[in-house]
A and B are shown apart, each in its own frame.
Chain A
């Protein structure tokens, strides 16, 4: 019979990440944004906790960590996460843990071309100022490069603490190519699930902030949360966050069970993006004029969510992937005693 409980170890991981985010990321929120990164000692401190992408945590524990970090600062979460989204592909290719930041580019528009073991092309935005590895995803292969890029800093909509650059590959030597469909499918599902977890965190953080504000700020003689128009919105935002989280949890659990998880991963990102994009602007709305100002973090979360939802092909690629799988998707329980329907 199904259960939705976290194990003691998972709770510990969650608490550890939550405490780190509150104690170490929150105080420097705007400073990290301005500095386009988190201080090196914080990166080291977080790595010492053993919660980065390079560790063998499993997908489920990872989504717990990413949600907690992103609930405070999704950009910083990327900056702290070492190989980050690229790590599942490095693992699949047997390349081990990244020695620095990694980025993944879903080459939707065909900007990159491989020839004679080298990769050339350019991409308008990656959420990093310095990287150790880049992965370019084509429909049927992943191309991994570990050198041969030029990164030009740019300004981005959100996730500033992660950095932001235009990336150019000048005949970069291809370190590895991943073509096994199953491994590629699982890696993509892992990436989408991780982005989904960041979206859940960002949405939760900004919803909690707006909800607190709404109980303190008064208008027409009562807390604005007690006006039904906002009370209903707050209820819907809370539901949105929970829906997104459950979808992400389900995908992560499927990954950890060794399933292909392509449908679950694509659905998780599509769902998390949709729900977070609903939450982000509405959290600003709840704060009204104050929400638009940099004095509160909700404007940052709104930008972060918009930016996150573009990552790794974003919502569109996730929805297309799900649509490609849907006609074979059985939603019923028949013969599913052991599996997640």
Chain B
């Protein structure tokens, strides 16, 4: 059963997968920009291009793993903003850095476990469960944990501050964090029991359960991992802009994360795709945004074009991976 899932997951049976289409678009776009946009194809700009989407990429990798398991986590952005903002606020109030980080990270893990329990044991559909927790996290955090939307970065963060704007051999730290996390999650998804179970659950939850896959614990673990990744992404974001603005929760970021995942070719019906798809999706969005900014195209126009890309990607997904009786029965997200 898991073997079958692997075959589907790799997309090897089909000649033209969505991943390949998106990759082709990315290559075309990249070549086009390189030829016609002066200053696009320089080492530094490519580094910037990647840096610009690394937080998005980090979140998307975790979201990708989630969607593969047939779940979704809409609370990621709220969690990332609030857990990190709280930790920073505690440090600003005079708490030692390690303790504050432990509390912020611990709170994130707790929320992850709660999400997992709500979805796996209480059996609330993931969409509603995580949408509700997102509102809870934001509301509770704003009410009780932080005093202002924007929490500024304390001066005494030490090496953590390097996460956002340091460079190693010319490669920006956020890109390195993204690469490491992507590699780790790819390894887990492909070479561990946990990863294969995730594919099995996403492919068909009922079958997975009958086969003996511990569906519920795996889901709880998935949400926990997603929460930890959100915390790390938050640290990268906050140290990059020297502050954490919790209003990021109100932006379209969470949908952009889903856009990257779907664009890369991870079907929303679950059980398909891998980290590679997310990386391809991230590259396309990064190239697109970077090129648009160089061309000085307005943000609102960029959003419209991005929306069109998402629609096209979903339409292609529908045509290439049509819903069959089996996938539609196990409940789409």
A binds B: no
Which residues of B come within 8 Å of A, CB atoms?
none
